[in-house]
A and B are shown apart, each in its own frame.
Chain A
Amino acid sequence: MIRPRDVPSIGPRSAGGTLPVTILCGFLGAGKTTLVNHLLSSAGEERLGVLVNDFGALNIDRDLIKVETQNQIELSNGCICCTIQDDLASGLMTLARASTGLTRIVVECSGVSHPAGVLAIFDGPAVGGLVHIDGIFCLIDVASFDDLDFPSTELAIDQAAMSDIVFLNKLDLASESVVRQVERTLTGAQPHMRLARVTNAVISADVLFGPHPASTRSGAAGREPSHAHETLYESFAFRWTRPVEPAAFREMVAMLPSGILRGKGILSVRTDSGASVRRAVFQLVGKRSSLDVGNDPAPAVSSLVLIARRNAVDGAAVEAALQQKLGARRVDAPARTPKRASQFY
């Protein structure tokens, strides 16, 4: 059994040995509960604990979560970013300490939560010693965004601005011009937002979750994306033997197209002195990335997986860049993606 404290350090913000937490935020009605249901029913190897915050006294969201799980805690009658911050802290600690073999906690914020208050919880030594933030994601209901009043609009923008990736949901209910207007408004407020379009909150766990602990141990770079999502997402997998120069790798990362939503890698990197090689874990979540060099022996082969919305990036260009910078070879499929105007910014 994997005890939470035994989970290896994998997340971009990991401080070592702590359980990854995926935070889902977004204004009321954006599709967060639908997404939690998707994740619970397609968790695969992950054993998820769920914390659901409902601003009202009755936790309706709890009742809307259809998948049974023993590891669910409801946080009601207040907002976890302010009035019931302590409840979130104790909920996280309960799930992290439960020793039920959880591999991850998903936090569904209330629609009126401000991410700053939620993130602050993780700064404390008690919570920070048990869990770390693996990713924070925001859903936006594009069809009703324009109907929000000004304070709600600003809150939704703050939620989006503080997230790694912003999912524009309910595309089927909005015209292209409405979606473009929402995109303009969001990037006007924060030009570096990473936006992705979705319908029915169908978002792959491969995008939301960092690599599974078991597979990082065996040296593979995360799971292969599940087949159910193949029509929506595509992945680019690379393997190579030449040790990586950290500076060259970071340069390559900076050049990646913004349509790449997730990146995960177990790499063999040269130390600063160049004298030896070490194992390093690479993580990319939306606009944020990290390369954590540990003290473990380097793997013989470096591996890297990049995930993007299907047709959102020029696969051939990515392949060429990795070949040139790292000597990396694509192992999953040749670049056969037809080019199309990017939906990502």
Chain B
Amino acid sequence: MQGVDRIFFGGPIVTMDAAVPRAEAVAVTDGRIVAVGSRAEIEALASADTVRTDLKGNTLLPGFVEAHSHPLMSAMAWGDPVVDVRAVHVPTYEAVLEKMRRRIAKATPGEVIWFLGLDPQLHAGMKEPSREDLDALAPNHAIVVQTINFHGVFINTKALEAFGIDADYTPPLGGKFVRAADGLPWKFAETAAWQLCNRFYEMCGDERKIRSFNEWVLKFVKAGYTTTSEIMIEPGASRMLQSAIKARRNPLRVVGYEGKHLGGEVSVPLNFGDDDFRVIGTKLHGDGSVLLGNVWTTHPYLNNEMTLKGMGLPENSTGHPNLTPEKLYDLVSKYVREGWQMSVHAHGDRTIDMVLDAYEKVIAEVPKISGPLRIEHCGTMREDQIDRAIRLNVACSYFLPYIYHWGEALRDFLLGEEAAARFVPAGSAIRKGMRASFHCDSPMTWPDALVCLHVAVNRRTLKGAVIGPEQCVTMDQALRAITIDAAYQLQMEDKIGSIAAGKLADFVVLGQDPLACDPERILQVPIIRTIIGGDDTDDFVQAQGG
């Protein structure tokens, strides 16, 4: 009899399979799990060629799954030569200017220098850099400064020249811009900002795309992820992404959703690709960023220096959606009818109302829906909306690291204590029975499954505050949201997300059993390695110098 290829044993095995939550050993053949059981049961399947992997007390889990992320976009946005000025490294606005001066001092003639990470909430003393400020910093070089929420871009006079922008500039659909005192464009927002980003990425060349993409994949692998998503692929970029993924042995599966806010046909056929990379859905933006104020809410923002001056909001601002209810319905209806799974970004509760309205209407009209229909981030989602989403079988992906990084800002400056306490209300949703998922939304925050777990079970911020403890869930519930329930949202529940016979052998090895460790210490759990299709991803990690 042919024996199994590989056996894992020698440590806790947390399967995330409700039928058999714990096992002593797992057998793998041809990249798939063939048996899960006791050490004796699994040993009986071995032959002389079987490779045995002793976990040596480490814990085996299904590889982490992130339902909402952007590895390619992250690579474009953050990869070298972009200069990272995030507050986590560069704490004050003055320090940002100093870092910009250091970089500009090393500039080569003709280069465009792009700075990313300016943060109105976290950079103490921040003000919008005026054209005069930027020209004083770099009279001879093109410089661009982009905000951490990606929605705003400021440029100097030399950058105007580099991008060929003059007084006749017109922004793309959905884009906004502001002129400086000289009458020329200075600040770009929304699609106008993203258009400049894409032009810069093209200037950086194709080799940089692949190199940065692999660097970014490494971050996911080291965070324990074996599957993630690319949830706003630029139309036309799917084939490039596929070739980047297929160019080496793949250490990270990616599920694709094409960005369709401009409408039009999806650039690849339905379910294009395979288990390494498959395009299954479409993505729309119902509103914008809570940190920018362009989300549509019932309760107004607080009125203070940060909201009125730092963010430039009107008093008692309740924001706005990105598109009308009619336009949203038209787009949802078109792609759902074509068989695509729909995913809509919605932070504000009024936007969520609009999305649920569109979904309810489409569900009534279309007999077979590729589901679950999804809502992304869900910052200020109300309790009645959770009930309605569950009734409609709509699944939410919650952006929990928001609490970790910006919890104090939400509570003290943006939304107030009550709204902050139930911001990203995953606890309510999960207790009511929703199969929710958690995400880091890279490039907004770095891929980090442990931060998702930490916020889910502790609701504790980076600085130590506890915000909305009533939204805490158990560690088991939290783990479901980054394994089996995230797999459900990505329509891969039959293939990944738990350790069960027949599924792909995708695992993460942790230095501690998360179900046995002190929940307050979850961030300290070592991530030892990941395994994809039965093989360690160490070769990729080493090739990337990680």
Contact = CB atoms under 8 A, between A and B. Distances in A.
B391 interface: no
A188 B546 contact: no
Nearest to A79: B545
A149 B98 contact: no
A150 B524 CA distance: 32
B95 A188 contact: yes
B98 A150 contact: no
A149 B99 CA distance: 13
B103 A150 contact: yes
A153 interface: yes
B interface secondary structure, majority: helix
How many of chain A's residues touch chain B, expressed as a range?
Answer: 10 to 19
Q: Which of the listed residues A123, A149, A150, A189 has the most CB atoms from chain B within 10 Å of its own CB?
A: A150
Contacts of A190: 95
A172 interface: no
B95 A150 contact: no
A248 to B, nearest CB: 28
B106 A149 contact: yes
Interface in A44-69: none
A230 interface: no
A185 B98 CA distance: 8
B106 A188 contact: no
Contacts of A83: 545-546
B102 interface: yes
B546 A189 contact: no
Nearest to B541: A83
Given A82-B546, A123-B524, A189-B95, A154 B102 contact: yes
B90 to A, nearest CB: 8
B102 A150 contact: yes
Contact of B98 (A82, A123, A188): A188
Contact of A153 (B106, B524, B545): B106
Nearest to B83: A150
Contact of A150 (B94, B106, B546): B106
Contacts of B99: 154, 189
Contact of A189 (B83, B98, B106): B98
B114 to A, nearest CB: 13
Interface in B102-159: 102-103, 106
B38 to A, nearest CB: 31
A1 B114 CA distance: 59
A252 to B, nearest CB: 28
Nearest to B97: A188
B96 to A, nearest CB: 10
A123 B99 CA distance: 30
Interface string A139-165: 000000000011001100100000000
Interface in B58-116: 83, 94-95, 98-99, 101-103, 106
A149 B107 CA distance: 10
A150 B99 CA distance: 10
A185 B106 CA distance: 13
Contacts of A82: 546
Q: Which of the listed residues B83, B95, B106 has the most CB atoms from chain A within 10 Å of its own CB?
A: B106
A263 to B, nearest CB: 27
Nearest to B113: A150
B546 A185 contact: no
Interface in A230-246: none
A82 B222 CA distance: 12
Contacts of B101: 188
Interface string A105-140: 000000000000000000100000000000000000
Contacts of B98: 185, 188-189
Nearest to B91: A190
Nearest to A190: B95
B102 A153 contact: yes
A222 B140 CA distance: 55
Q: Which 9 A-B pairs have the closest CB atoms?
A: A188-B98, A150-B106, A150-B103, A189-B98, A153-B102, A149-B106, A189-B95, A185-B102, A150-B102
19 contacts: A83-B545, A83-B546, A123-B524, A149-B106, A150-B83, A150-B102, A150-B103, A150-B106, A153-B106, A154-B99, A157-B102, A185-B102, A188-B95, A188-B98, A188-B101, A189-B95, A189-B98, A189-B99, A189-B102
Interface of A: 82-83, 123, 149-150, 153-154, 157, 185, 188-190
Given A82-B546, A83-B545, A83-B546, 12 more contacts: A150-B83, A150-B102, A150-B103, A150-B106, A153-B106, A185-B98, A185-B102, A188-B95, A188-B98, A188-B101, A189-B99, A189-B102
